[in-house]
Structure 1
Amino acid sequence: MLGNLFPLNSDKPFTDQEKVGHNRYHPEIPPVATVKPGDSFRVDSREWFDGAIKNDDSADDILNAPMNKVHGLTGPFRIEGAEPGDLLIVDILDVGPIPQEEGPLAGQGWGYTGIFAKSNGGSFLVEQFPDAYKAVWDFHGPWATSRHIPEVKFEGLIHPGIMATAPSPELLARWNKREGDLIATDPNRVPPLALPPEPDEAVLGGISQDDWDRVASEAARTAPPRENGGNQDIKNLTKGSRVFYPVFVDGANFSIGDLHFSQGDGEITFCGGIEMGGYIELHVDLIKGGMETYGVAENAIFMPGRQDPHFSEWISFSGTSVTLDGEQRYLDSHLSYQRAILHAIEYLSKFGYSKEQAYLLLGAAPIEGRLSSVVDIPNSCSTVYIPTAIFDFDVRPSANGPHQIDPGMGAPKAADPTYG
């Protein structure tokens, strides 16, 4: 083990650290360190808003979250000998919250989940939930509980939301062209269809001042997943996972960030995982020429770890590709998953949860989302599975009727409900 190659001081902002990471993708961002195939090393990671979200009972910080700052990524790391066309092997050896610290930063004994306002990112169910809400979760070893969502407790499925290699100049240009073309179809949409390069709040590591303006105007936002991996938010990329990333530039220039204590499939509230800072230990290796050998021209393949909590009983909800207004859509799996989630929210509200509490819970807890049928025209069928063990009560339907929880203070809502 090489030790911590990217230490973070919790008392300093992300940009004032010993080594400065980045929050945009560009092939010219220089590596902060070099490792060799076969090396193992540890790095620290800052939560995606660098401390802007507080451990309190207000959602105003979610409403006003500084979207241009995300994501603060650790790296990039040059892998000695890596060349375009190789596959980079990344093993997750360990991952967790900021060790032995309690304090004001997410990861210091707590994390948060947010429903984002329509005017500031939105969410999977943005039309039904256009306003900003927040839930704070306290960590108790492997467990999470929340004063904002009572009578639930579950083990964390800790994972990085982002792991990525750097794009080549050609790949970066393709991203900017296709996403720019999409934005042009509805440039004033709220929330936007995509995020163009944005120099404001850009963090570009060791880019020189002479090149800063040009690189900032070209560098891609880290919000979506792309061919290099990126913000895939795959909850199963936890301890014990092995991931194979395509290499597009010499050295691969691998980065990591956006740690989550837990998350449900889809990260449906946008800030749907339990966001936190922390650490991650990695082992890297190379398969020379692996992209051609294994047909991995784009997007990573992975072998999920086996360290996740195991549940034996589930309560599940289905949805089909019919809108709330009764309009039939053709095999729209995105819509059918929305409908499944809405059915689960409606069900949980019968136990005394507000619909916002239920939505936040489904974003944070280790729910499973599945495409159950995608061939039976015209209706796609999607399902969401909720482990029954996360509840302190029997959540199953019965002749006795639903248990009534005490909702407590509820999930904080932003003071300004205006969403544009």
Structure 2
Amino acid sequence: MPELLYPLDSTKRFTDQEKVGHNRWHPDIPPAVTVRPGDEFRVHVREWFDGAIRNDDSAEDILNAPLSTVHCLSGPFAVEGAKPGDLLVVDILDVGPIPQEDSGPLAGQGWGYTGIFPTDNGGGFLTEQFPDAYKAIWDFSGHVATSRHVPGVSFTGIMHPGLMGTAPSAALLSKWNAREGALIATNPNRVPPLALPPLPTDAVLGSLTGDAFDRAAAEAARTAPPRENGGNQDIKNLTRGSRVFYPVFVDGANLSVGDLHFSQGDGEITFCGAIEMGGFIDLRVDLIPDGMSTYGVSENAIFMPGNEGPVYSDWLAFSGTSVTLDGEQRYLDSQLAYQRACLHAIDYLTKFGYSPEQAYLILGAAPIEGRFSGVVDIPNACATVYLPTAIFDFPVAPSLDGPAQVDPGMGAPHAAR
């Protein structure tokens, strides 16, 4: 096992740890640990809500989830010799749930969860069709997940960090705030909001204190979206064996990681669409001096995905085009086409006895594949959702016998305002 450089105590809150991480992006957050190129090390990671979501049969915790507190990031990790303009090479050697613990109150201790977030507290990809809060608890047996809230489904998780990235420079942070602020100004009262502005409330900024903390908290960027530094990309194939090349914007690079997932479908479509967990990640770091200009990677990470995870050979694919539910034609709107493909898959699964919410949770948590299949044939973009048939305990393809009927069990816990 690589040396544990960032330990966490599962009995303590995120802010009470010996090494306190952060939940905002800012160049002034001091590094918690310094490593050298070539070093391999283990990092413990808190679940993104720091234990606010419980292993029970209620969705009240999803309804009232404290979004101002996320994400709980471990780091930053400064890399000796890293300079702006370099590429930081990060190898994901291993990733998994909280080590040596197979039961407990925290996600990652033998279980994880998927949430459909309400429209006024995060929303999701299909929030217009699914405006209320729902939750599914998934139990882990080795690398396999099952749920009492979504019977008839089991699958091997493709474990990965939903969020990893380098610190922004002051100039890059200012750019983020300006462009996202301009977007918010186009519809400042939209629910859910168009973007999340800086929010000092509940900000955690590592070891910063006093006036330095107050200044940084007022301008630090929220961690919700992916940006030029990587960030919350939620790429399910960024698993063990992956190599990532991150742009470096500050001395030391200041790498941070969090938001571990036991499994996820492409798009993490319910917003908390993955199976969320706390756990560990083993990393190796290296540098390519001046790599940003050498390879033209001036923004956004590039990566070589790992080749581990379940291998599925049989799929049932659903397609959608860029036409709204009420029949309005949109021009090559790939996101709308993907929404329609997801809705077609959900409608299909309800014929087997699942509620629409259970079907939606399956698409968020299981390792589905989403593809933009046609983006040039005006006026309709075409997107597809590939559903692996092996995750179901019953035949899911159409047949002359009609759809098998699944006992939906207790269903997904629901909470509404």
Asked whether the 8 Å contact 2:2–2:282 carries over to 1, the reply is no
Aligned pairs for 1:247-326 (under 5 A) are 247-326=248-327
Aligned pairs for 1:182-261 (under 5 A) are 182-261=183-262
Which segments of 5 or more consecutive residues in structure 2 lack a partner in the other structure? none
1:42 equivalent in alignment to 2:42:
yes
1:31 equivalent in alignment to 2:7:
no
Aligned-partner residue type, residue 224 of structure 2: A
Q: How far apart are 1:242 and its partner, in Å?
A: 0.2
Q: State the alpha-carbon separation in 2 of the partners of residues 241 and 91 from structure 1.
A: 6
Deviations 1:63-93 (A, max 9, x none): 0000000000000000000000000000000
Aligned residue for 2:349?
348
Q: Tell me the C-alpha RMSD between the 2 structures.
A: 0.6
TM normalised by structure 2 equals: 0.99
Q: State the alpha-carbon separation in 1 of the partners of residues 213 and 248 from structure 2.
A: 24
Aligned pairs for 1:15-414 (under 5 A) are 15-101=15-101, 102-414=103-415
Aligned pair count reads: 416
Q: State the alpha-carbon separation in 2 of the partners of residues 6 and 37 from structure 1.
A: 17
- Stretches (4+) displaced over 4 A: none
| Aligned sequence identity (%) | 75
Secondary structure class of the residue paired with 1:245:
strand
Aligned residue for 2:12?
12
Q: How far apart are 1:352 and its partner, in Å?
A: 0.1
Secondary structure class of the residue paired with 2:155:
strand
Deviations 1:292-314 (A, max 9, x none): 00000000000000011100000
Q: State the alpha-carbon separation in 1 of the partners of residues 99 and 409 from structure 2.
A: 30
Aligned-partner residue type, residue 44 of structure 1: H
Aligned-partner residue type, residue 319 of structure 2: S
Q: State the alpha-carbon separation in 1 of the partners of residues 389 and 337 from structure 2.
A: 22
Q: How far apart are 1:2 and its partner, in Å?
A: 5.4
Asked whether the 8 Å contact 1:2–1:39 carries over to 2, the reply is no
Aligned-partner residue type, residue 369 of structure 1: G
Q: State the alpha-carbon separation in 1 of the partners of residues 85 and 289 from structure 2.
A: 7
Q: State the alpha-carbon separation in 2 of the partners of residues 77 and 99 from structure 1.
A: 21
Q: State the alpha-carbon separation in 2 of the partners of residues 280 and 9 from structure 1.
A: 15
Secondary structure class of the residue paired with 1:361:
helix
Q: How far apart are 1:100 and its partner, in Å?
A: 1.8
Q: How far apart are 1:229 and its partner, in Å?
A: 0.1
Which segments of 5 or more consecutive residues in structure 1 lack a partner in the other structure? none
Q: How far apart are 1:212 and its partner, in Å?
A: 1.2
Q: State the alpha-carbon separation in 2 of the partners of residues 148 and 209 from structure 1.
A: 46
Q: State the alpha-carbon separation in 1 of the partners of residues 209 and 409 from structure 2.
A: 52
Q: State the alpha-carbon separation in 2 of the partners of residues 126 and 406 from structure 1.
A: 26
Q: Structure 1 197/128 Cα, relative in aligned 2: closer, same or farther at 3 Å?
A: same
Aligned-partner residue type, residue 130 of structure 1: P
Secondary structure class of the residue paired with 1:265:
coil
Deviations 1:240-268 (A, max 9, x none): 00000000000000000000000000000
Deviations 1:268-325 (A, max 9, x none): 0000000000000000000000000000000000000001110000000000000000
Deviations 1:208-256 (A, max 9, x none): 2121111100100000000000000000000000000000000000000
Q: State the alpha-carbon separation in 2 of the partners of residues 9 and 40 from structure 1.
A: 21
Q: State the alpha-carbon separation in 2 of the partners of residues 290 and 308 from structure 1.
A: 30
